[in-house]
Structure 1
Amino acid sequence: MSATTRTYVVTGAASGIGKATAELLRSQGQTVIGVDLHDTDITVDLTTDEGRTTMIDRVTELSGGVVDGVLAVAGLSAPIVATAAVNYYGALATLEGLRPLLTKSDAPRAVAVASMASLQPADDALLDAFEHGTEEQALARATELAGAGPEVGYIIYSTSKRALAKWIRRNAPSPEWAGAGIPLNAIAPGVVLTPMTADLVATEEGRKQLTEQVPMPLGGPFGPEVAADLLVWLSGVENSRLCGQVIFIDGGSDAVIRGDSTW
């Protein structure tokens, strides 16, 4: 158990990376307020304004008004409109809505989960709506993409994760985050073995196709506990200076895809 118990909010805490992260934090003696659609401390739908508002109110109540770490993990990869709503707007509502509670911590930290899919093709109209338009406009474009079938609809996922990663980069150095002493960062996982990806890796054909789309030369797909380890460190006291970093924990996908074009 840690010498000083910290209070963490983890969205998506009922499954996958969020569940692994919540379990790891609790095993270290930390206080965790889990948020998800079911089987956790706060049951809300982060695709809705009502759900987001309820989350903030309930976290404020359960935490006593002070939160040390916010981990915006909740997300979807399905080719549906809800993916746009939760991956981008749900994450921003979590980070921005709980930021006032972080400012009352002696060592506040915030982390989001992007994806290596942020390197995959994005829809320009949807990305523009995320960055410069309204949620209504973004969801209208997502509806069009989803209506074109799953192969087209998948771009909702990659676009939402790119928009989230860009938001982290833009906002982390700002007075509201860095200026308030809050390190804000993200991780960008490769293929993680969770219920969300079970169908993709169930067959040899699926695994082969996935490897072509997401090259992971260092060990291939991995369990959610690998991502959880990094999330826990980023949201811990030890991380005092990382700011606006999107850390690709992807078995080498970023290095293969982008090479030395970024550093």
Structure 2
Amino acid sequence: MTRTYVITGAASGIGAATAALLAGQGHRVIGVDLHDADITADLTTHEGRAALVSHVTELSGGRIDAVVANAGLATESTATVAVNYFGALATLEGLRPLLSGSDAPRAVATASMASLFPVDDELVDACLAHDEPAALHRAQQLIDAGQGGLIYGSTKRALVRWIRRNAATPEWAGAGIPLNAVAPGIIRTPMTDSFTATEESSKAILEMVPMPLNGIAEPAVVANLLGYLTSVENSHLCGQIVFVDGGSDVVIRGDSTF
């Protein structure tokens, strides 16, 4: 059965690998990115988010089967907040109505194992309050204070909390839409080039992000998981944050989730 998928951040890394996987299976993929995609949209802006929804609606004829909110940044900037949290929510919520015509609608976001690291609670709270101006202001304060490194993990912590809080609601589970997220460890993508380019840098990042099972992964590893989470077969996973991190979650948290 041919399905229609929308993937943000489709031009490189995990998004490109997922698009290739699904297209190779015979599905239709509508890719979204800043360049080299079916739809060009800047998810840092309200205009770009609106353009995403309108263009997907036009290209799909108003019906899609799955959304992969994958676009993300890892820079110490306010843009990381705008894309990773507010852009992801705009993608999921804005495209949710287009899933209503599918016999097996699915939605998934790309989070990160960085959500396990220390975060800035004020930034996380501003995101979850849907107060984008306050969140951007707090991010700038962190940058000015030399604490910009907290931004990425904070946006991902907020995103996974939003997934957990909303997956079982009438709008998602009640509408028959499994909403979940993946939390990758270190993946070889353009985003992580500075951490994985050399043996020395790879060793250093693995000391921070332990991945005892097979080490640093290729994008296809995450793509395969995203493929399952958005497939017809995934009928009952609800609000799960699936760590595909070579064991980082296990090393860092142990059995604390039980």
Counting aligned pairs with the same residue, the percent is: 66
Helix, strand or coil: the match of 2:101?
Answer: coil
1:227 aligns with 222
Quick one: distance in 2 between partners of 1:127 and 1:205?
33
Question: 1:75: how far off?
Answer: 0.2
User: What is the 5 A alignment of 1:1-263?
Assistant: 4-149=1-146, 152-263=147-258
Quick one: distance in 2 between partners of 1:73 and 1:154?
21
Quick one: distance in 2 between partners of 1:115 and 1:168?
13
Quick one: distance in 2 between partners of 1:203 and 1:20?
22
Matched residue type, 1:260: D
Quick one: distance in 1 between partners of 2:148 and 2:44?
17
**Residue 110 of structure 1 contacts residue 185 of structure 1 at CA under 8 Å; is this kept in 2?**
yes
Quick one: distance in 1 between partners of 2:75 and 2:46?
21
Question: 1:247: how far off?
Answer: 0.2
**What is the CA deviation profile of residues 97-151 of structure 1, one whole-angstrom value per residue up to 9, with x for unaligned ones?**
00000111110000000000000010011011111251000001111112234xx
Question: 1:221: how far off?
Answer: 0.6
Quick one: distance in 2 between partners of 1:146 and 1:74?
22
Report the TM-score when normalising by structure 2.
0.98
Quick one: distance in 1 between partners of 2:112 and 2:37?
24
Helix, strand or coil: the match of 2:205?
Answer: helix
Report the TM-score when normalising by structure 1.
0.96
Q: Describe the shift of the 1:230–1:141 C-alpha distance in structure 2 as closer, same or farther (beyond 3 A).
A: same
- Structure 2 stretches of 5 or more lacking a match? none
Matched residue type, 1:52: R
Quick one: distance in 1 between partners of 2:5 and 2:203?
38
Quick one: distance in 1 between partners of 2:2 and 2:143?
44
Quick one: distance in 2 between partners of 1:35 and 1:160?
20
Helix, strand or coil: the match of 1:153?
Answer: coil
Helix, strand or coil: the match of 1:198?
Answer: helix
Matched residue type, 2:18: T
**What is the CA deviation profile of residues 65-122 of structure 1, one whole-angstrom value per residue up to 9, with x for unaligned ones?**
0010000000011111100100000000000000000111110000000000000010
Quick one: distance in 2 between partners of 1:132 and 1:111?
21
Matched residue type, 2:19: A
**Residue 77 of structure 1 contacts residue 154 of structure 1 at CA under 8 Å; is this kept in 2?**
no
Helix, strand or coil: the match of 1:14?
Answer: coil
Helix, strand or coil: the match of 2:195?
Answer: coil
- Structure 1 stretches of 5 or more lacking a match? none
Quick one: distance in 2 between partners of 1:233 and 1:133?
30
